[in-house]
Amino acid sequence: MTKIFFCILLPLFIAFSQTSPTTGADTTLVQSIKRNPMKLRSEKLSHFRFYWHDIATGPNPSVVKIVQPPANKTTPNNFGTILMIDDPLTEKPEADSKLLGRAQGFYGQASQDEVGLLMAMNLVFSTGTYNGSTLTILGRNPIFEKVREMPVIGGSGLFRFARGYAEVNTITFDTKTGDAVVEYNVHVLHY
Ligand SMILES: *[C@@H]1O[C@H](CO)[C@@H](O)[C@H](O)[C@H]1NC(C)=O
Ligand SMILES: *[C@@H]1O[C@H](CO)[C@@H](O)[C@H](O)[C@H]1NC(C)=O
């Protein structure tokens, strides 16, 4: 009898005692949640390289000035100017190389002592696995320094919870027209 109790009845008692509280439990106080409801896999580090094209000239400019400092105020280094961008991102420095996505957002001249931009942009990818996923960059860009670093502060789609940084260096910059090609090396942690 003792043996039967331990082998058959005890497991049943345990099973019932574990399931019964859920019916009468105080669900306003405590609710059990799944440990990994979003099915996140382990975090990985990815490196992306692409080229960012600021096209100020021609019939379809990808950058337009939207804020001009007041004409009767003299601001050093065009401080206060803001430009909106929808810049192509390509695989190679050449403008006609494969289009990978676009950089959409704006940048403004936020430094009085030099050209130091505040950049706020979403990189929206349009190819392969990452089609439709975005990365958001918000950072400071002193454009005449050789390498500038800006934080990646988040993302969407396959880049949910992303964080990282972009190191950027200018490939070409035409000071007369404003046309520029900039190499982006982006390291991001994401799932
Ligand atoms: C500068 O121009 C703005 C807009 O035209 C005007 O409202 C403002 O009074 C001017 N300021 C000065 C100091 O002239
Ligand atoms: C990317 O996604 C858009 C919208 O879903 C779709 O129209 C387009 O064909 C896709 N492009 C590629 C290269 O998969």
Number of residues that this document lists for the chain: 191
Mean pLDDT of 109-116: 95
Task: Give the confidence band of 23 by pLDDT, cuts at 50, 70, 90.
Answer: low
| One CATH from 2.40.480.10, 3.40.50.720, 3.90.1150.200, 3.40.50.970 for 42-190 | 2.40.480.10
Q: Given the CA of residue 127, which atom of ligand 2 is nearest to it? A: 13
5 versus 151: the higher-pLDDT residue is: 151
| 147 touches 169 (CB < 8 A) | yes
What is the 54 CA–ligand 2 centroid distance (Å)? 24
Cα–Cα nearest to 149, from 140, 162, 158, 159 = 140
Task: Give the confidence band of 20 by pLDDT, cuts at 50, 70, 90.
Answer: very low
- Contacts of residue 181, Cβ cutoff 8 Å, sequence gap at least 6: 51, 52, 53, 54, 93, 95, 170, 171, 172, 173
- pTM of the shown model: 0.79
Cα–Cα nearest to 101, from 143, 120, 129 = 129
What is the 74 CA–ligand 1 centroid distance (Å)? 12
- Rounded-to-integer distance, Cα 47 and Cα 185, Å: 7
Ligand with smallest separation from the Cα of 99: 2
What is the 72 CA–ligand 1 centroid distance (Å)? 6
User: Is the CB–ligand 2 distance for residue 98 below 6 Å?
Assistant: no
Ligand with smallest separation from the Cα of 130: 2
* Residue of the CA atom closest to atom 12 of ligand 2: 127
Percent residues over pLDDT 90 in the chain: 73
User: Is the CB–ligand 1 distance for residue 72 below 6 Å?
Assistant: yes
Mean pLDDT of 104-117: 96
* Residue of the CA atom closest to atom 12 of ligand 1: 72
* Residue of the CA atom closest to atom 4 of ligand 1: 70
| 63 touches 53 (CB < 8 A) | no
For position 87, what pLDDT does the model report?
Answer: 98
* Residue of the CA atom closest to atom 8 of ligand 1: 72
Is the alpha carbon torsion for 83, 80, 140, 189 positive or negative? negative
Ligand with smallest separation from the Cα of 101: 2
DSSP 7: I
Percent residues over pLDDT 70 in the chain: 87
For position 48, what pLDDT does the model report?
Answer: 97
Mean pLDDT of 37-53: 91
